[in-house]
Structure 1
Amino acid sequence: MPAREKLINSQGQPTYGLFPDGVEDINYQDFDLRTVMDRKISGWRKRLAFNQFQFISLISPELIIGAAIVDLKLVSNAFLYLYHPATDTYEEFSFLQPFSRHTFADSSPLNGSTGFRKGQNHFSIQATSVPGVRRLQVSLKNGTQIDATIDETTGYQPLALCTRAGYQGWTYTQKSAARVCNGEVRWRDSVYDLKNLNTLAAVDWSAGFMRRETFWNWGSLSCTLEDGRRLGMNLAAGVNETGFTENALWLDGRLIKVDMTDFLFDRHHPTHSWAMRSADGMIDLHFEPKGKRQEKINAVLIASNFKQYFGLYHGEIHLPGETIRLSGVWGLAEDHYARW
């Protein structure tokens, strides 16, 4: 089944629901955006209200990487962090650009480019559907470099959905996890071959007219099971929960939908473990944080309290006919408040 061509229909309204093959064009400029009192919003005010970001994780037992490009129009941000578990070495980089200078983000999750530049620090993510690949490239002034190619051809089944956001908005997200990737990372005088490390990637492409004030909890993992199968997971609470959820597993690329999921954790004791349990009984996991990337911004119009943890997942995943037991596989968890 081909991907849906456009998200916004001829009446200026988004199509809500799940899209098994994604959407080619998030044509947000065609959306009939209005105030809560039904006054039409257009032009630069509409562009200013549209938020977009893309996050990619590269996970292996030897190296954990998170990279993102965020376009909020009033400001843009790109960040990268790297963690080497064997030596407990961690380094992070974060860059801001006022009014999204030197930042661009195409409206196609499947055939688009996203980029950010500040001085000699460059981030780019390029996606093509033929062939289905996504390429992450990072080049930093200090010599850190990433060139990773993610396979989105073989058995690619993204979790793509659009849901309402507040009274007049909507959010579209397209996610995948446990995707095969290859390439090279240069960091701190070491060179890492992603294919040799059996690295797996997860991708989060999200955009929309989001709630002015929002929050979410999120969990993700990408690992290779003892029998050689690839297991990916995406769990979330707090954003896309108006009729549909963004909770899913991928087993060797096959998408398995998961019900509403509860996150139990102590925000003020970040080293304590998290519990994640789904209403359908499929997910019964604990997450043990090993480190985090944290950033707090409290400006006049924009605020963010961002905590993304990397750590180990333990517990059970109950599928029809089998139970998958996890004993310390690497993944991520997030607690985020945003005003934008």
Structure 2
Amino acid sequence: MPANFLPPAPTHVLNPEGLPRFGKYAGAPDVIDWASLALPYQRSKLWQTLHHKHWHYVALATAEIFCGIAIVDVGWTNTAFAYVFDRQEGKLIASYSQDGLPGLTAKLKQQPAAGAAAQFQFLSNKIRFQHLPDRGQFQLQLQCGSFSIDALLNASLTAPSLLAIGEVQGGTVHATVKSPGMPLAGEVIVGGRSFSLQAGIGSYDHSNGFLARETSWRWASAHGMDVGFNLQAGYFGQHENALWLDGKLISLGAAQFEFDASQAMADWHIFTDDGLLDLHFRPEGFRAENKNLLIASSRYLQPIGLFSGWVRASLDEPRRQIEKLVGVTEDHYSKW
């Protein structure tokens, strides 16, 4: 096996002694369950309750629109957001953001792939993501005010997901499952407008761990059926950096993000220190949100746009050109 290809994922993130199985893997575990976490990573029950962060994010991309949807449980409270970005008009045409009630409005199962389910409901607004085991699909259903989503993500013929398990500075341990690109079906309705998801690409991120009180990161993600990537710099180091290329999942090194944080529409330059990826990102628009809840705060910027540049599976492989692959970058700080 080439050094940067990944071994198969374990069924559990902890070994029988309660220690994390640190590393990058191809595939997904049955569950991300920290209940038997052992020393030196175990903390008091109160500490773990306050530092436990668990979220599920879904991206839907077509030639017309891009949608981002997230359900986040931060231990002592929860929140959700969803948006529809019109790529032709270069602006958000629907947006929903709501803080919930602890233990009531958000429910996320520990299964990140098979058996996955995440739900947020506040009054008449509802978001639900679930695995449909008999069909090899994931379903996203959303009804938030004037817009709705009914999407199917077909996981039956795709590349393996990425599982990353690692330590985090200021926290203890964290695990994430990032899906590859999956063919879409369904529709998005905004007011009286209907957008078909046919020929689109969907992906998701399921993350679960114990993070620092103050956490920040830069992130980039984009997917086609033959190529995709996930890149992060910040709280999780290079643990989740990976490239999907022609059905193979390839580990990437540390990612460098060069951008102007004060200019939401400025270009980004992103590259990895192993010489396997070098991309330029040009925003088409963005979603931004700043919150200050006295005991918590966040600054969030997620530009939506196009990646161009090159990737390759190893240093002795030719460069694969990337042209206008739709995806997102993110600059995020949370005090949670």
Q: What's the TM-score once normalised by structure 1's chain length?
A: 0.88
Is 2:106 the counterpart of 1:112? no
Which of 116, 123, 128 matches 1:124?
128
For this pair of structures, how many residues does the alignment match? 326
Cα deviation for residue 272 of structure 1 reads 1.5
Name the % identity.
Answer: 27
Correspondence for 2:165 among 158, 162, 167: 162
Q: Which amino acid aligns with 2:263?
A: H
Which piece of structure 1 moves more, 114-123 or 274-283?
Answer: 274-283
Q: SS of the counterpart of 1:101?
A: coil
Correspondence 1:57 to 2:59: yes
2:241 is matched with 247
Partner of 1:8: 14
Q: State how far apart, in whole Å, the 1-side matches of 2:37 and 2:112 are.
A: 18
Q: Is the 8 A contact 1:311 1:331 kept in 2?
A: yes
> In structure 2, what is the equivalent of residue 215 of structure 1?
216
Once superposed, which parts of structure 1, at least 4 consecutive aligned residues long, lie more than 6 Å away?
none
1:135 aligns with 2:139: yes
Task: Return the offset for 1:264.
Answer: 0.5
In the alignment, is the contact (CA less than 8 A) between 1:138 and 1:146 conserved in 2?
yes
Superposition deviation, residue 316 in structure 1: 2.1
Offset, 1:84: 1.5
Alpha-carbon distance change, 167 to 335 in structure 1, aligned in 2, over 3 angstroms: closer
Partner residue in 1 for 2:186 = 183
> For residues 1-340 of structure 1, what are the structure 2 equivalents within 5 Å?
4-32=10-38, 41-42=44-45, 46-90=48-92, 91-110=94-113, 111-128=115-132, 131-142=135-146, 144-166=147-169, 169-195=172-198, 198-223=199-224, 230-241=226-237, 245-319=239-313, 320-340=316-336
Cα distance change on mapping 1:326 and 1:46 into 2, 3 Å: closer
Distance in 2, Cα, partners of 1:253 & 1:181: 17
Higher mean Cα deviation, 24-33 or 52-61?
24-33
**How does the TM-score come out when normalised to structure 2?**
0.89
RMSD: 2.3
Distance (whole Å) between structure 2 residues aligned to residue 253 and residue 129 of structure 1:
22
Change (3 A) 1:72 1:135: same
Distance across 1 between alignment mates of 2:246 and 2:122: 38
Q: 1:164, 1:171 within 8 Å by CA — same for their partners in 2?
A: yes
Whole-angstrom distance in 1 between the partners of 2:22 and 2:317: 32
Conserved 8 A contact 1:72-1:100: no
Structure 1 residues 213-222 or 88-97, which shifts more? 88-97
Q: In 2 relative to 1, CA 236–92 (structure 1 residues): closer, same or farther, beyond 3 Å?
A: same
1:150 corresponds to which letter in structure 2? L
Q: Given that residues 64 and 84 in structure 1 are in contact (C-alpha distance below 8 angstroms), is that contact kept between their aligned partners in structure 2?
A: yes
Deviation at 1:104, TM superposition (A): 0.6
**Shift, 1:297, TM fit:** 1.8
Structure 1 residues 5 and 317: alpha-carbon distance in aligned structure 2, compared to 1, 3 A threshold: closer
Structure 1 gaps of 5+ residues are: 224-228
**Which amino acid in the other structure matches residue 17 of structure 1?**
G
Superposed CA deviations along residues 265-293 of structure 1, whole A, max 9, x for unmatched, are 11112221110011122211111122111
With a CA cutoff of 8 Å and minimum separation of 6, indicate the structure with the bigger relative contact order: 2
Does the 8 Å CA contact 2:264/2:301 hold for their aligned counterparts?
A: no
| Contiguous gaps of at least 5 residues in structure 2 | 1-6
Tell me which residue corresponds to 2:4: none
Structure 2: distance between partners of 1:2 and 1:287: 31
Task: State the one-letter code of the partner of 1:25.
Answer: V
Task: Give the superposition deviation at 1:130.
Answer: 5.5
Amino acid at match of 1:121: N
- Cross-structure match for 1:226: none
Conservation of the 8 A alpha-carbon contact between 1:313 and 1:327: yes
